[in-house]
Amino acid sequence: MGEIVKTILAIALVASQTTYYEAKVTTFGCTSIDLVAQLQKLRADGKAFHAALMEKQIYGECVAILKGTLVQGSIEATADSTLRVNQEIDPPGYEAPLGDFETKAMEAIGRRIGTIA
């Protein structure tokens, strides 16, 4: 019986750990998956993309995320190409293109901010 409890606790601990991602490029996060899709369609046209992103930032619908920025994230269940970032830090968080991020190990993050040796 004790082993079952230990196993359940171990699974719960792993499931509750936050995953961190680093922006590989300067990117964006928006308040909805639809806004992310709209901006993704414009990305090939740099001028139109930046104008649309700027407008959405002015209205508080989107934010810029600089290259190298670390974010907490989870992949959206309804859109597996979308990452929900900083939900715990800045509720309800922002939706962002998953392809613009790479997973970061906790050890690397700790060394980067000086909390883990």
**Tens of pLDDT along 67-102?**
999 999 999 988 999 999 999 888 899 999 999 999
For 70, the domain range is 18-113
Give domain status of residue 75, yes or no.
yes
Closest by CA to 95, choosing from 33, 38, 26, is 33
- Looking at per-residue pLDDT, the higher value among 18 and 9 belongs to 18
Give domain status of residue 2, yes or no.
no
Paired residues of 75 in beta bridges: 83
Q: What is the pLDDT of residue 18?
A: 72
d(CA 88, CA 108): 21
Give domain status of residue 65, yes or no.
yes
pLDDT at residue 110 tops 60: no
Domain count, the chain: 1
pLDDT tens-digit map of 23-77:
999 999 999 999 999 999 999 999 999 999 999 999 999 999 999 999 999 999 8
Report the predicted TM-score, pTM, of the whole model to 2 decimal places.
Answer: 0.75
Q: What is the pLDDT of residue 112?
A: 53
- Check: CB of residue 104 under 8 Å from CB of residue 21: yes
Give domain status of residue 39, yes or no.
yes
b/e 70-106 (16+ beta carbons within 10 angstroms → b): bbbbeebeeeeebbbbbeeeeeebbbbbbebbeebee
Give domain status of residue 1, yes or no.
no
Q: What is the pLDDT of residue 107?
A: 54
Rg value, the chain, Cα: 17
Take residue 24 and report the two structure tokens written for it: 């590989």
